[in-house]
Amino acid sequence: MHFGKTIFAGLVGGVMAVASAASAQDTIKIGVSYPTPTHAWAAGMNWHAEQAEARLEALYPDIDLILINSPDPASQASALEDLVSIHAIDALVVLPFESEPLTDPVLNVKESGALITVVDRGLSQPGIEDIYVAGNNPELGRVSAQYMKTRLESGDNIVILRGIPTVIDNERFDGFMAEIEGTGINVLDHKHANWNRDDGFEVMQDFLSRFPDIDAVWAQDDDIAIGVVAALEQAGRTGDGMFVVGGAGMKETIRGIMDGNELVPVDVLYPPSMIATAMDVTVAAFKSNGPVAGRYILGATLITPENAEAFYFPDSPF
Amino acid sequence: MPDTAQTQPASNKPKIDLKMYGPAIALALLCILGFSLNTAFLSEGNITNLLTRSAFIGIIAVGATFVITAGGIDLSVGSMAAAIAGVMIILMNSLIDVLGTGTLTVVIGATSAIILGALAGLANGLLTTKGKIEAFIVTLGTMGIFRSLVTYFADGGTLSLSFEIRGTYRPVYYESILGVPIPVWVFIMVAISGWFLMNRTTFGRYCTAIGSNEHVAQYSAINVNKIKTWTYVIQGLCVALATVIYVPRLGSASSSTGVLWELEAIAAVIIGGTVLKGGYGRIGGTILGALILTTIGNILNFTDLVSNYLNGTMQGLIIIVAVWLQRADWGGKSKT
């Protein structure tokens, strides 16, 4: 007993020299759970989450953010259990690996009384989350098509490189096609390039062999766009106002836009930093005097040389 | 055993040997299909693209032919390529400060890739032979290790070759000698060396012997462990060579680099007529197998007749038909 007290006193004395012992119980604990970064976009998300953690904890000494990443849905479910049982979190920010297998685990966290913020991927049951923060996939397609319309005329030809066959890809594609409809711009063909540079390169090579007249490319994603640009350069078909529109907001792409790259003149935002937005909003739920519960759908901003600076994070891996 | 039946003096009746020509016929049929869909299929540009693209899988598959002929399997090649590409990029980027952006940096990068490939292959080989662990398990393990290493090196993102050095290295993928792209030259040289090694040396005969019956080979005073280890080293060298010509293409490596290359390489080997359980290997067939695989993907990009979602189905069907063409008993008179 006495021994334990000493340790407790030592810990408190060491960790918070000034704060009173009571404030330890007033700390607001927020768990942040997302998939282990295995591709560039997720690595960017991880980076932005760490940045937001440092920034928010410096701003509010009584906020404790706990970042956990998990390699698969099952470990994410276990991580959520740990956040409740070990850390007794007051709020959870979660980017679910997959909607189905994580709906119940998140529901269990909610039943412990925690505030729930869901990021990017919705759960398969409505009404669980208090706050929802996500990018806008249909809008990404629509904004890309709007830009195409400003540069192209009726009768011009474009090709589309799509992502991995998923709901995300379909939403983007359908958004794009709805906007381009009736403009007279011909979509010669669309193929899946799996959000991957190598596939982007090969699919574009084949499009170039197959179609002698292509005026622009919608690559949907910055990684695919890198492959597309390499194929265009190899074939020497970068002239005549040819341009490529990607998406996401990779730092190299944004750097290129700032430098006035004519081949990839714009980008459409689908930011990995949305995790930071979610963390900010969740903290605001405890700190703001205004209401914050609700759905936050981020804009699919068109990044141009004029506004590129605001989306450029040279230290992020993405 | 069907094998013993076939080693009987062959009948004099001339008969098209489908085991021999099956892959070539399959490739010819694919080309006719491609040409009929779009005449641009046989344009010079597309043929060049096809051959260059086949070089990666083709070179790796030549190595895989040795491994499989000797009764082994290597599942780690795709991840190994990604890991080697990653190390190469990091090394060259850091050498720029010391050695500048000249050829020397690229040569050192490429040399270290070759050494790494040989070492990785040696590790696979020794774990299989000295460690007495099944090749499937060893290379499944190293597949995971190499894949996560490149993710780690890249911090989850993408490793990119510095733009200053790209200009020096880029020609290795994009330039041509005598109208033939450099990757295709490398592919041709690997194929010829592989054919020679498999068909004209004792090493090749030992591989076949070990794959047919390891115990008999052992009793015939063949150093089975040594030969098997060497097949993995050759595989590692082939992966490294493929990586050396892969990196200048896009100048980047990430955890998505080389995904499923192992299955493509194994498929190329089997389509080419090599037997998966070992004992019979054909380098020439492997080359055709690699070309067939690339051509399928190319043709699917040339048409919108097939739903994008069914690409995998088409690939699967063509692979099965290609192998069926050579395995089915077309002679009519079965000996078994």
Distance CA B308, CA A191 (A): 6
Residues of chain B in contact with residue A255, where contact means CB-CB under 8 angstroms, are none
Inter-chain touch A38–B46, beta carbons under 8 Å: no
Residues of chain A in contact with residue B255, where contact means CB-CB under 8 angstroms, are 38-39
pLDDT in tens, B305-320: 888 788 888 888 888 8
Inter-chain touch A223–B158, beta carbons under 8 Å: yes
The chain B residues in contact with chain A (CB within 8 A) are: 38, 40-41, 43, 45-46, 49, 53, 151, 154-158, 160, 174, 249-250, 252, 254-257, 297-298, 301-302, 304, 308-309, 311
Residues of chain B in contact with residue A205, where contact means CB-CB under 8 angstroms, are 49, 53
Q: What is the pLDDT of residue A105?
A: 92
> Please, what is the end-to-end C-alpha distance for chain B in angstroms?
8
Q: What is the pLDDT of residue B145?
A: 96
- What residues have CB less than 8 Å from B14, skipping those under 6 apart? none
Local structure of A150: helix, strand or coil? helix
pLDDT in tens, A9-59: 444 444 444 443 344 458 999 999 999 887 788 889 999 999 999 999 999
Q: Point out the least confidently predicted range of B84-88, B260-264, B321-325.
A: B321-325
Instruction: Tell me the nearest-neighbour CA distance from A281 into chain B, angstroms.
Output: 26
- What residues have CB less than 8 Å from B141, skipping those under 6 apart? none
Residues of chain A in contact with residue B297, where contact means CB-CB under 8 angstroms, are 202
Inter-chain touch A39–B41, beta carbons under 8 Å: no
CATH superfamily of A27-134+272-287: Response regulator (3.40.50.2300)
Residues of chain B in contact with residue A191, where contact means CB-CB under 8 angstroms, are 301, 308
Residues of chain A in contact with residue B157, where contact means CB-CB under 8 angstroms, are 37, 39-40, 43-44, 317-318
* Cα distances (angstroms) measured from residue A133 to each of A160, A276, A292: 28, 10, 11
Chain A nearest-CA residue for B252 = A197
Residues of chain B in contact with residue A193, where contact means CB-CB under 8 angstroms, are none
* Mean model confidence pLDDT for chain B: 89
Inter-chain touch A37–B304, beta carbons under 8 Å: no
- For the entire predicted model, the pTM comes to 0.83
Local structure of A221: helix, strand or coil? coil
Inter-chain touch A197–B250, beta carbons under 8 Å: yes
Report the pLDDT averaged over residues A290-301: 91
CATH topology match: A27-134+272-287 vs A137-268 = yes
CATH superfamily of A137-268: Response regulator (3.40.50.2300)
Inter-chain touch A192–B157, beta carbons under 8 Å: no
pLDDT in tens, A55-96: 999 999 999 999 999 988 899 999 999 999 999 999 999 999
Domain ranges of chain A: 27-134+272-287, 137-268
Chain A nearest-CA residue for B53 = A202
Half-sphere exposure in the Cβ direction for A149 (13 Å, CA): 15
pLDDT in tens, A130-177: 999 998 999 999 999 999 999 999 999 999 999 988 888 999 999 999
Asked whether residue B268 carries a pLDDT value surpassing 70, the answer given is yes
* Mean model confidence pLDDT for chain A: 88
Q: Tokens for A152?
A: 């192209």
Asked whether residue B2 carries a pLDDT value surpassing 50, the answer given is no
Inter-chain touch A46–B156, beta carbons under 8 Å: yes
The answer to whether B96 and B222 are in contact (CB under 8 A) is no
In 3D, which of B153, B159, B162 has the Cα closest to residue B96?
B162
Inter-chain touch A202–B53, beta carbons under 8 Å: yes
